[in-house]
Amino acid sequence: MDYTSELKKLHELKEKNIISEDEYNDQKESILSKIKGGEKKQQEVSTSTLTADPNAKSKREKLMEYETTQYKPVSIGDWIITYLIMMIPLINIIMLFVWGLGSNTQPSKANWAKATLIWFVIAFVIAIVISVVFGAAIAIIASEHPDF
């Protein structure tokens, strides 16, 4: 059995908040003890522990969903369509929210949409600051030169 891939998968589950820190540490110890020649059987969480936790069912469902979901990379055609949609004013912002906050979007596209929304906000703030600075400068020049 490849324990390295088990550890990587366990780390991914912890990063996605599918399992708790305690569950992560317990499972990690179990895998490390297997590597050292300790346990021969795979240690699993007992069903009594899972039923005591009110979130146990949702955690189990998330775990099963994560294990069965295979994320495919976004294809070139999808990116071309994405960029075509991004050229349409107002629709582009709406679609960024849909892609960034929607649950049916592939993770790479969702992260891209979130990053793009952040850049939009930064650019909007910079545009406001520049408009205020230049507006104030024009107002000062206009007040000093009334014949202008």
Q: What is the pLDDT of residues 98-140, one digit of tens each?
A: 999 998 888 999 999 999 999 999 999 999 999 999 999 999 9
15-24, 39-48, 102-111, 125-134: which range is least confident on average? 39-48
**Single residue among 25, 49, 68 that ends a domain in this structure:** 68
Backbone angles phi, psi at 146, to 5 degrees: -65, -25
Residues 31 and 81 in one domain: no
Residues 11 and 61 in one domain: yes
Cα 50 to the center of its chain, rounded Å: 27
Which residue segment(s) compose the domain that 116 sits in?
Answer: 76-144
Those residues with Cβ within 8 angstroms of residue 33's Cβ, 6 or more apart along the chain or in another chain: 39
Residues 83 and 56 in one domain: no
Residues 39 and 99 in one domain: no
Amino acid making up residue 49? T
Q: Considering only residues 127 and 69, tell me which one the structure prediction assigns the higher pLDDT.
A: 127
| In the predicted structure, residue 52 carries a pLDDT above the cut 60 | no
**Single residue among 39, 68, 97 that ends a domain in this structure:** 68
- Residues 86, 95: contact at Cβ < 8 Å? yes
Residues 63 and 45 in one domain: yes
Could you tell me which of 111, 90, 83 has the C-alpha nearest to residue 99? 111
Rounded to whole angstroms, the Cα distance separating 102 from 97 reads 8
User: Model confidence at 35, in pLDDT bands (50, 70, 90)?
Assistant: confident
Residues 83 and 124 in one domain: yes
Residues 50 and 108 in one domain: no
How many independent structural domains does the chain possess? 2
Specify the pLDDT at position 31.
78
| In the predicted structure, residue 46 carries a pLDDT above the cut 50 | no
Residues 133 and 90 in one domain: yes
**Single residue among 50, 68, 86 that ends a domain in this structure:** 68
Specify the pLDDT at position 40.
46
Residues 99 and 62 in one domain: no
45-49, 81-85, 138-142: which range is least confident on average? 45-49
31: left (phi over 0), alpha (psi -120 to 50) or beta: alpha
Specify the pLDDT at position 101.
93
Residues 19 and 58 in one domain: yes
